[in-house]
Structure 1
Amino acid sequence: MTSRFTELTVDCHDPERLAAFWCAVLDFKVIDRSEGKVEIGSWEPTVEDVRARQMPPTLQFIQVPEGRSAKNRLHLDVSPIDAGTEDEVNRLLGLGASRADVGQGADRSWVVMTDPEGNEFCVLRTLAP
């Protein structure tokens, strides 16, 4: 018996806003929505696909009433594929992200940021040719 990693769920206040932000960051699309929930991904999962092979997980944004109370213990890392790291950081700032200081120090190869609801994520080195 085995399981597959199929979704990563993010608790938030505004699932539509956060889904729109992450769709713009990752070039994902909305694949499902219901009241208080939006799911995005790079593909539309089917049971057959998931059972056949490991596929990239989707992201689900679920509305919750409480706010975040501490530093995230889990975060996303993203790598630019067609621009330099600083160019990508500037693009993400324009989408509503913010730079963050979580004690990482000044001379790092990554940039810590937060999404519009304050969830940390990192922009890693560029993978652009």
Structure 2
Amino acid sequence: MRDSELVVDCRDPERLAAFWCAVLDFKVIDRNEGKVEIGSWVPTVEDVRARQMPPTLQFIQVPGGKTVKNRLHLDLRSIDGSTEDEVTRLLALGATTTDVGQGSDRNWVVRADPEGNEFDVLRTLAP
């Protein structure tokens, strides 16, 4: 058994996939009506058979919007820039500031994607 993909229910899979592709530098791997799958690279059939495919994000269209705090979220960390620069970039891409009760004394910040799904931006790994 292995982690294959993280599925996100959403109203607009194309819009959310485009946002997360820009955030993570991912590419669209597959798209069907009401579904878009993205990943860090587009695998070949041989890659999949050899289990060389990293987990992907899959956006599935559902009716209605998000109504409560996520029970699962992504933690993101910049590897080559400051946390502040990364947060600025994410906001320019369409992320929003959100509060889930994290408090101001944390070394990470909470943001939300264009459909309100929360994610954390952790302290950078850059020197």
TM range (shorter): over 0.9
Residue 32 in structure 1 maps to residue 30 in structure 2: yes
Residue 106 in structure 1 maps to residue 104 in structure 2: yes
Identical-pair percentage = 80
Equivalent position of 1:90 in the other structure: 88
Name the amino acid aligned to 1:85: T
Name the amino acid aligned to 2:23: V
Contact preservation (8 Å) 2:65, 2:115: no
TM-score normalised to the size of structure 2?
0.92
Deviates more, 1:44-53 or 1:23-32: 44-53
Contact preservation (8 Å) 1:4, 1:50: no
Equivalent position of 1:65 in the other structure: 63
Instruction: Give the distance between the partners of 1:110 and 1:78, measured in 2 at CA.
Output: 10
Cα deviation 1:18-69 (Å, max 9, x = unaligned): 0000000000000100111010000224565456457421000000002112
Contact preservation (8 Å) 1:15, 1:63: yes
- Give ranges in structure 1 of 5+ residues lacking alignment: none
What is the root-mean-square deviation in Å for CA atoms of aligned residues? 1.5
- Give ranges in structure 2 of 5+ residues lacking alignment: none
TM-score normalised to the size of structure 1?
0.91
Name the amino acid aligned to 2:58: Q
Report how many residues are paired: 127
Instruction: Give the distance between the partners of 2:63 and 2:107, measured in 1 at CA.
Output: 35
